[in-house]
Amino acid sequence: MNTKRARCGNVPCEWCDRDDRACRFCRGSGWWRPERPHQTAAGELSWARVDEPCRMCGNTGKEHNALSAPPAH
């Protein structure tokens, strides 16, 4: 259903060049579904689920956080 991008937009990007790590925030889907507070017409507070492109991986579904890279030995 939802598509993801091949690259995050940074060129060059070493994270986009590799395919072995899935983004841990969206689990590789490139999308995440946070819940947002939402006020109903009756004035009650409820939660609404929204679909957003994952900002952590630029909607690529590939891990982009350098902090999660395996330590260099």
Site of interaction with Zn ion (CB under 5 A): 8, 13, 15-16, 23, 25-26, 54, 56-57
Please identify, using beta-carbon distances, which residue of 35 and 39 lies nearer to Zn ion.
35
Query: Nearest approach, Cβ of 24 to Zn ion (angstroms)?
Result: 8
Encoded amino acid at 10, one letter: N
Nearest to 15 by CA among 55, 52, 61: 61
Query: Nearest approach, Cβ of 62 to Zn ion (angstroms)?
Result: 7
Query: Nearest approach, Cβ of 1 to Zn ion (angstroms)?
Result: 16
Please identify, using beta-carbon distances, which residue of 45 and 67 lies nearer to Zn ion.
67
Contact 8, 58 (CB under 8 A): yes
Nearest to 51 by CA among 32, 72, 69, 26: 32
